[in-house]
Amino acid sequence: MKNILITGGAGFIGSHVVRLFVNKYPNYRIVNLDKLTYAGNLANLKDVEQAENYHFEKCDICDFDRIVEIFKKYDIDGVIHLAAESHVDRSIKDPFTFARTNVMGTLSLLQAAKLCWNGEWEGKRFYHISTDEVYGALEFDGTLFTETTKYDPHSPYSASKASSDHFVRSFHDTYGMPTIVTNCSNNYGPYQFPEKLMPLFINNIRNGKPLPVYGKGENVRDWLYVEDHARAIDLIFHKGEIAETYNIGGFNEWRNIDLIRVLIKTVDRLLGNPEGASERLITYVTDRAGHDLRYAIDSRKLKNELGWEPSLQFEEGIEKTVKWYIDNQSWIDNITSGEYEKYYEEMYANR
């Protein structure tokens, strides 16, 4: 029996990781810990919520005493830490929340693990999921972020994640805690909160709403299908070297405007609209403050050492993603209406 605590397990990436572990490892006890903020939705896990090896705990990762209780209750011996505030625009408006959740929340988990494991590190593992944004930005010169790229965060979000990365590594260097850090590129796929680019634009095209494009849409991102990321997390959690860093990317760079045109073409086709009908919805807006020009991840270390690589071609991933959002309109309508938040507030009001 392994007792795995997955933080942020009701969120986008977290729900895919929880689902994978619950289904793949019936002899593990999987504890999903989530605060159920705006981005956490237990509807993402309806298909596994009755599984015998699945447990849910509603908890703020900054609540240190409660975190310690949960560690002891389930005899936690492994942590996969995904809980985070992650939207750059929100971080620009409210940096304090990002510092609290991403920095102090991570420190709370680390300190709880240190206290409960008490130096008995055998069989223990603290795996922290981070972002490529901690590395800053790249020029259009073919260079890639590697595991040794110097940190150079440019937004409150990436600064908070960089700080949390440093805390994780410091707990290994200071106390000997078995830690691993991964930095991933932009994820896409089912169950993503609809303020993010792909679900936002798919939904806006469906409803004939404007498609807001920052600047000229020339910023470049590397895109990774979320289920491929979950597979990488599974592999690294079990096979990765302690105190190592692994970059997880899709080898898949796209300019924002080119990606948007692929989305438009795919959504219009699947909705039966005339080809290019939704091009008129593209609306250029003032660029985001401190908007990084280009991200691109070098995943060769992960491929060469552990044998991981993306399973989907990008066009296949886009097709699957668009189909999922079109086929699950009730899910996205429930999110955009805010009804799910009211439901959880009532459910946990007296607990």
CA-based diameter of the chain, in Å?
A: 63
- Give the CA distances from residue 126 to residues 90, 97, 186, 233, 320, in Å, rounded to whole numbers and listed in that order: 27, 23, 23, 12, 32
Q: Which of 135, 157, 191, 225 is catalytic?
A: 157
Beta pairing class for 253-255 and 220-225: antiparallel
> What's at 12, amino acid-wise?
F
Distance CA 123, CA 143 (A): 37
Answer yes or no: are the C-beta atoms of 12 and 66 closer than 8 Å: no
Starting at the edge strand found earlier in the chain, the sheet holding 186-188 runs 186-188, 220-225, 253-255
Q: Please, which residues bridge with residue 225 across strands?
A: 188
Distance CA 15, CA 54 (A): 12
Active site residue 132: yes
User: What is the distance between the alpha carbons of residues 248 and 252, in angstroms, rounded to a whole number?
Assistant: 11
Q: Is position 279 annotated as part of the catalytic site?
A: no
Catalytic residue among 133, 222, 228, 253: 133
List 85, 132, 165, 292, catalytic entry:
132
Asked if 157 is an active-site residue, the reply is yes
Cα dihedral across residues 70, 71, 77, 79: positive or negative: positive
DSSP assignment of 141-202: SS--B-TTPPP---SHHHHHHHHHHHHHHHHHHHH---EEEEEE-EEESTT--TTSHHHHHH
Known catalytic residues are 132-133, 157
